[in-house]
Amino acid sequence: SQTLKIATIAGDGIGKEVMPEGLRVLRAASQQFNIPLEIQTFDWANCDYYQQTGEMMPADWKAQLQGFDAIYFGAVGWPATTPDHVSLWGSLLKFRREFDQYINLRPVRLFEGVPCPLAGRKAGDIDFLVVRENTEGEYTNLGGVLFEGTDREIVIQESVFSRIGTDRVLRYAFELANQRPRKSLTVATKSNGIAISMPWWDKRADAMAANYPEVAVDKQHIDILSARFVLQPQRFDVVVASNLFGDILSDLGPACTGTIGLAPSANLNPERNFPSLFEPVHGSAPDIYGKGIANPIAMIWSGAMMLQFLGYADAHDAILKSVEDILKAGPHTPDLGGQASTQDVGKAIAQNI
């Protein structure tokens, strides 16, 4: 089989601490499953680089990364030196958009060994996927300010939804739901308040649903949908949402399973015209950086999703099985009530594959 070319970008904060453990587990899986890996490290797309150069990435970043199968990404953001909208728009959001990673896939699952903030739920009760549109919608820098600096100041912010962008994420979500035993898809909307884009989004969902008669579709407004993540999390199977709504739901879902620090994500260009990107959801966590206590599981699980996407479902399953074992039996980092270090957990998961 062909060598997988992986670009790694650790980024900022705990991104730098969890990356080595992600790589440790990736290498263990590659040995076990005979996956030829070629790994190359990139030292830009972080706020130190920005402080030195005034840019988050070199001008030829796209050319440098274009040949890779995937980008394995830690976390970016260091608000003490660099405003978030500068660091994010200069790196992560650029990748998502310019590499057309239009699917952001985020699993939500309740594990044994992870204290659940919801009462009376047990492992297996919660197991769903958030499919988030990842290139357009509410995340734009279009618009502007009128009467700037005066009492009459007015700001316009534009959201942009294209039929191409909307249909492809809906199609992906319907396909995914169709492959799962429950065949159930929840479509996040807010057509009762956001009066142009969301009624249109609903119509696109209806049109797509006509192609998937076996999928049970349920449109829910984002306010009540958020509430139901807390009240009835067992009812969800696949949830599809716009960029912003998907962002909210894919933090809220993991929060409901106690796995905010464990949640992985895949930023996919399904056609593989560009490298896809795999990253933990947790961000750079300045408050705990430098202590060696960050939980590396989100990074490791993201690596598993990367192998799955690149054709090694068996390696994915083995890593996830190992993660499940360690979550059950320890060692645990402090966020899960343990005393283990980032390294301890990474090593345990690698050895257990």
Ligand X SMILES: CC(C)[C@H](C(=O)O)[C@@H](O)C(=O)O
- Selection from ligand X, its own copies, none that 12 binds (CB < 5 to 8 A by kind) is none
Alpha carbon 141 to its chain's center: 21
Does residue number 160 form part of the binding site for its own copies (CB under 8 A)?
yes
Q: Minimal distance in Å, beta carbon 268 to ligand X?
A: 13
Q: How far apart are CA 264 and CA 34, in angstroms?
A: 24
Q: CA-to-CA distance for 11 and 109, rounded, in angstroms?
A: 26
Binding of its own copies by 223 (CB under 8 A): yes
Alpha helices by DSSP H, listed for 210-312, are 222-231, 243-256, 297-309
CA neighbours within 13 Å on the CB side: how many for 264?
Answer: 27
Residue given tokens 């300010």 in the structure block: 145
Tokens of 204: 């696109």
Instruction: Establish if 159 lies at the interface with its own copies (CB under 8 A).
Output: yes
**Rounded least distance, CB 200 to its own copies, Å:** 5
Cβ atoms of residues 263 and 106 within 8 Å:
yes
Report if residue 163 touches its own copies, rule: CB under 8 A. Answer: yes
Binding mask 182-221 for its own copies (x = CB under 8 A): --------xxxxxxxxxxx---------------------
Interface with ligand X includes 3 (CB under 6 A)? no
Q: Nearest approach, Cβ of 190 to its own copies (angstroms)?
A: 7
Of 43-51, 146-154, 309-317, 341-349, the segment contacting its own copies by CB under 8 A is: 146-154
Tokens of 108: 């939500």
For residue 296, whether the previous peptide bond is cis, meaning omega lies within 30 degrees of 0, is: no
Residue 102 · residue 135 · CB < 8 Å: yes
Q: Interaction with ligand X in 276-295: which residues (CB under 6 A)?
A: 281
Please, which of residues 112-141 interact with its own copies by CB under 8 A?
115-120, 138-141
Does residue 329 belong to the site contacting its own copies (CB under 8 A)? Answer: no
Pairing of strands 70-75, 238-241: unpaired
For tokens 């980032």, the residue is 342
Q: What H or E segment, with its residue span, contains residue 168?
A: helix 163-179
Residue 223 in contact with ligand X, rule: CB under 6 A? yes
Nearer to its own copies, 55 or 158 (CB): 158
261 touches 298 (CB < 8 A): yes
Site for its own copies in 70-89 (CB under 8 A): 77, 83-85, 88-89
- Does position 231 interact with its own copies (CB under 8 A)? The reply is yes
Alpha carbon distances (Å) from 174 to 44, 128, 179, 229, 252: 37, 14, 9, 20, 22
* 206 is a site residue for ligand X (CB under 6 A): no
Among residues 66, 81, 192, 339, the one that binds ligand X under rule CB under 6 A: 192
Nearest to 33 by CA among 298, 299, 318: 318
Q: Which of 8, 46, 104, 250 binds its own copies (CB under 8 A)?
A: 250
Judged by CB under 6 A, how many residues of this single chain contact ligand X?
A: 6
- Which residue, 37 or 86, is less far from ligand X as judged by CB? 86
260 binds its own copies (CB under 8 A): yes
Q: CA 96, 320, 240 angle in degrees (round to 5)?
A: 40
Per CB under 8 A, 157 contacts its own copies: yes
* Residue 248 binding: pick among its own copies, ligand X, none (C-beta 5-8 Å cut-off by kind): its own copies
Which residues of the chain form contacts with ligand X (CB under 6 A)?
88, 192-193, 223, 247, 281
